[in-house]
Structures are given as C-alpha cells and as structure tokens.
C-alpha cells in the first residue's frame, strides 16, 4: 500500500516539476520576446513584468518543492546529528518531519484561504491598457504545500514503521 502511494506521489511531484519547467521556458520566451520587441521594434510587451511576477516565478519557485521533499534534497544541516547515536538521530528525524508537516499544514491552510478569497474577488493587476487576471496563480501555493505535506506524511509513516537501523531507507523514497 505504501509503495503504491509512493509511486502516486512520485508521479504527482514529477508532474508539478514538469509544469514548473514549462513555466520557466515560457518565462524565458516571454522575456526574450519582450527584450527583442523593446530593443528592435521599440514596442515592449505590456504585461511582461506582471506575468513574470504573478505566474512564472511562483510556479518555478513553489511547484517543485514536493519532489525536493521526496528526494530529501531540501536544505539541512546535519553536522551535529551525524555525531549522534542512531536512536537519537531517529527521534530528531521524526521530530523534523513532524515540524515540516506542521509548517506545511499551516502554509497550505493559509494559502488556500488566500487563494479562495482572491478567486472570489477576481483578483487582477492593472497593466497599461487593461488588466491581467492573476487569481489562478494563487492556487499554485496550496497545491505545492499540500503535495509536500503528503510527502512528509508518507515519510513519517515510513519512519515510524522502520527499524532503528533503517532510518535512511525510511526517509529516502524507493525507486528514485
């Protein structure tokens, strides 16, 4: 059962990374066309800065976090924990996972409320000559946060079910 959930989370986190890559490519093309239009044609695109800030950068920054969590590649400092006995490292690892879950729960909850509010308001940014609809990008944050929360939940289950010596196996996903 856990392996099936693990494969599903792997597929989902890779799909989010693919969306982030598409957003990064779109951002590069959009900015390049804007620079070309501004420099050569003396006609810059109106919404480039707002699109980069409201859509592209949010997608690039937040959508990949579930895959980073699955691979245990987020920032960590293990200078002192490497010197601890295995049982104490296990306790610290479980505590860190619980702390990550708590943070991601609050992050997801608050970003969900904000995204719902902004969607209800029909949030837009004023650009020269009109408006840019930005509320859809607000949903990137709760999606990314919930995804990382699920990754941490699966990690916690594996940590609890693992034997003392198998802590590395519990925190590292299978088949990555």
Q: Give 10-residue mean pLDDT values along the chain (176 residues).
A: 90 96 97 95 89 95 94 79 87 93 98 97 88 94 97 94 62 50
Q: Rg of the Cα trace of the chain?
A: 20
Cβ–Cβ under 8 Å, residues 140 and 56:
no
Distance (Å, rounded) from C-alpha 14 to C-alpha 20?
Answer: 10
Neighbours of 1 (CB within 10 A): 6
Q: How many CA atoms lie within 13 A of 176 on its CB side?
A: 21
Token pair, residue 66, equals 């579930």
Q: Coil, helix or strand for 124? A: strand
pLDDT at site 94: 94
pLDDT at site 79: 80
**DSSP at 127:** E
pLDDT at site 83: 86
pTM (two decimals): 0.85
Distance (Å, rounded) from C-alpha 91 to C-alpha 85?
Answer: 10
Phi, psi of 64 (to 5 degrees): -80, 0
């Amino acid at each position: 059962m856990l392996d099936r959930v693990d494969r599903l989370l792997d597929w989902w986190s890779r799909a989010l990374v693919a969306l982030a890559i598409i957003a990064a490519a779109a951002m590069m093309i959009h900015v390049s066309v804007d620079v070309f239009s501004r420099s050569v044609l003396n006609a810059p695109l109106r919404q480039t800065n707002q699109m980069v800030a409201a859509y592209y950068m949010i997608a690039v920054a937040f959508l990949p976090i579930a895959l980073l969590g699955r691979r245990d590649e987020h920032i960590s400092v293990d200078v002192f924990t490497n010197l601890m006995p295995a049982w104490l490292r296990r306790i610290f690892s479980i505590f860190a996972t619980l702390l990550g879950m708590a943070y991601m729960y609050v992050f997801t909850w608050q970003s969900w409320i904000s995204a719902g509010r902004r969607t209800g308001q029909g949030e837009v940014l004023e650009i020269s000559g009109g408006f840019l609809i930005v509320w859809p990008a607000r949903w990137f944050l709760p999606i990314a946060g919930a995804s990382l929360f699920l990754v941490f939940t699966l990690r916690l289950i594996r940590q609890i079910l693992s034997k003392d010596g198998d802590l590395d196996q519990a925190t590292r996903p299978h088949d990555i």
